[in-house]
Structure formats: C-alpha cells, structure tokens
Structure 1
Amino acid sequence: MEHNIDAKGLACPKPVILAKKAMDACSRGDVVLITADNEMAVENLRKLAASQKAEYASTKLGEKEYRVRITVTQEKENQTEAEFPVNCFVPTADNTVVVISSKEMGNGDEVLGRILMKGFIYALTQLPKLPETVLLYNGGAHLSCEGSEALEDLKKLDREGVEILTCGTCLNHYGITEQLAVGRVTNMYEIVEKQADASKIIRP
C-alpha cells in the first residue's frame, strides 16, 4: 500500500511529523511517498527513515521539487527498544541538555552578553559531569560556526563526547550553513525530542 504526502511549502518539522504518522499506520512493505520542495526536508526524512530502519530513496524532480520514498521494513509488533532507541528512550538522572538560543547571555549590553556567553560555554567544559547534549538554535547557531569565540570550547565538549546539535533551518536562515565547524545539523523534530527526553534542561 502507498501513502502519499504533499509536504511542499511546509516548514520543519512538519514533513517529518507527517511522514512518521504515516509510517506508524503502515505494515511491513508499505510505502510512504513524500513530495517536498527543499533539501532540508529531504535530509530530515532520510534521518527519520534511518532511525526507523526503513528503506529510503530520494529523487530530485525539479529545481524545488523532490520525491522521497520510504519503505517500511518492520512490523509494529516487532519493534523493540533496541530497534527504536529514540522512541523508547528512558531518561536518566544524567541526561542534561543545554539549550542556547542566542549569541548573548541575558538582556542588555550586547558586548557584555557575548562575553558572558563565552564564559558560560567555557564553564560547561569545567563541570565534573558534562551535559549529554548542547542544542543551538536561532542566534545560538552562530556559536558553532567559524569565527565564533566559543568555538574551541564547543569543540572540546565535542571531543569529550557531548552531542553538539545546531538547527539546520537557523543555519540556512542566517546563510551560515557552510560555516558549521563542530557537531552536526539537526531539525526541529529532534530539538523537541531531545528536550522532551531530558531529565534536566539548562538555559543560559
């Protein structure tokens, strides 16, 4: 059975959410076909398929038209915690997520705010127990890019095993996607998921 989704014009994370709902209603061998109009949606759908151990293929039909094909390969009753670690994640006391949405810390003087943010990220590297994840979105996306004063400290966290995730929509909005220098690109679905699963959220 085929399920068709028209995700053209839909912003992140709607294409992923629609595809996930369709996959949840599928049986093994069913196909979900999604039409999208941007590469970010295509990449996010690829990540969704990988997380669900589904077959994935994409085709560029035109300048702003893509067709994504996801084939469900597992029956729902066979889904286990090992197969779906994202959906079956059980928070622990150590699952701390740091959420940064600006280049500055606090409100007021911008120069002071940037100094404070640099100090905050450095202080993270000195904690006896490091966070599991650092989420960067909106203005915070600049911090993980080339030229950021906090870049070396974020790289240190990355080397220590901290997951550094930067919003792809935000990087694209500011025109700095190619300047990302640490961690990986994420989407709004994963940003929400990480915060929902966190045992503690820290916001500077």
Structure 2
Amino acid sequence: MTITVDARGLNCPTPVIKTKTAMEGAPGENIITIVNNEAAKENVRRLAENSGYQVAIHDKDGDYYLEISPCSCGDVKPAPENDAGNYVIYVPTDKMGQGSDELGRILIKGYFYALTEAKPYPKAILFLNSGVNLTTEGSVVLEHLKTLEAGGVEILSCGTCLDFFALKDKLSVGSVTNMYSIVEKMNQATKVIRI
C-alpha cells in the first residue's frame, strides 16, 4: 500500500507535519509526498531519512515527488529520549527572529503550530514583554496555545507585562504569573528554550 500526501502550496512546516502524521499512522508503509518548493522538499527528505526511511526524489513539471520507503539499510538507532517534557519555553517577543517584523510574525505562527504537532510538549510556556501579545485577544497563535494548554502545557503571562501594555483584561489563554514564579519554573526545568 502507498499513501500519498499532497502538500503542494502548503507553508512550512505543514508538509513535514503531514508526512510525519502519515508515517506514524501507517508505520512501515510507502509514502509519496508531493511538494512544490525546494525548502519543503529538503525538510521532508531530512524528516524521512532521520526517521529511518529511504527517499527517492523525482521532479515532475515543477513539483517534487518524494518516494519514501522503509529503509533496508540496517538498523536505524532511535533518537535518544529526552527528559520527557521537562523543559520550558521563554517567549520575550511577539515575533520570531530579527529583521523583518512581518516575517517574524509568520515564523512565530509556524513555530507554535509545529509545537502542537511535536512531542513531548513543554511543561510551560512563559510569555514576557511584548510576548504577552500572543496570549491575548486577536493573537495569531491563540488557537495553537489553546491546543497546547489542553495538552497539559502551562501557559503563563507576566502580570507586569500585561499591565504595562494594558492587556490584562484581554488575556485569552493561560493565566497571569509573576517574576518569582517565572524564575522558579526556569530553575526547575531541565532546559529553557528562548525563542
């Protein structure tokens, strides 16, 4: 049986996530993922190879067909287990990276979508400074944060920051916290990831 994943025209990281979902839903089956840009092609290829599959790529009329099949090239070592979810994410801004604010907003949306699809989830996500904009009304990532919260992730926004931006009454996901609690969460975590 071959599963086809048509991911043409989909933004990063959706082609990777759709392919990963197909792999998990039918382990050991052949998969054909179709994408129409170089970045998606390389990202899906890396995912497949890192998951123990072999990949053959064919270019047809500007689309890339990635034929993904179980590897017969010996044992593939599973990725090492991490301290399942004993990490926190620190979000000090409502954009990702520096340079273009518009691109930064696109990237932050893609990041939180990808986070909903990756396991294990973090223990908590800590929003400070302009990062609190992401937990309030009108946020482009509100749906993703609610999914993470439903999955057991603590969504915590700095109360001082919400007050500073006059957003406390617009908080739409998670709860208000303080700097002492933020420090405690960071100290208790195996690792802290800043985005």
Q: Which TM class, normalised by the smaller chain length?
A: 0.5 to 0.7
Query: Aligned match of 1:104 in 95, 100, 113?
Result: 95
Give the structure-1-normalised TM-score: 0.54
Q: 5+ residue gaps in structure 1?
A: 1-91
- Residue 177 in structure 1 maps to residue 177 in structure 2: no
Residue 128 of structure 1: CA displacement? 2.0
- Residue 194 in structure 1 maps to residue 185 in structure 2: yes
Paired residue for 1:153?
Answer: 144
Amino acid paired to 1:126: E
Amino acid paired to 1:134: I
Q: For the residues of structure 2 that align with 1:115 and 1:172, how far apart are their CA atoms?
A: 26
Paired residue for 1:93?
Answer: 83
Residue 156 of structure 1: CA displacement? 0.5
Amino acid paired to 1:153: H
Paired residue for 2:124?
Answer: 133
Q: 5+ residue gaps in structure 2?
A: 1-81
Residue 202 of structure 1: CA displacement? 1.4
- Residue 162 in structure 1 maps to residue 153 in structure 2: yes
Residue 145 of structure 1: CA displacement? 0.3
Residue 134 of structure 1: CA displacement? 0.4
* CA RMSD between the two structures: 1.1
Amino acid paired to 1:93: D
Q: For the residues of structure 2 that align with 1:123 and 1:203, how far apart are their CA atoms?
A: 16
CA deviations on 1:9-64 (whole Å, 9 max, x unpaired) are xxxxxxxxxxxxxxxxxxxxxxxxxxxxxxxxxxxxxxxxxxxxxxxxxxxxxxxx
Matched residue count:
113
CA deviations on 1:79-125 (whole Å, 9 max, x unpaired) are xxxxxxxxxxxxx9231101100011010000000110111111110
Q: For the residues of structure 2 that align with 1:190 and 1:121, how far apart are their CA atoms?
A: 23
Q: Which runs of 4+ in 1 moved over 3 A?
A: none
Superposition pairs of residues 76-91 of structure 1, within 5 angstroms: none
CA deviations on 1:115-174 (whole Å, 9 max, x unpaired) are 101111111101121111000010100000010000000000011111000000000000
Q: For the residues of structure 2 that align with 1:200 and 1:188, how far apart are their CA atoms?
A: 18
State which drifts further: 93-102 or 180-189. Answer: 93-102
Q: For the residues of structure 2 that align with 1:151 and 1:174, how far apart are their CA atoms?
A: 18
Paired residue for 1:60?
Answer: none
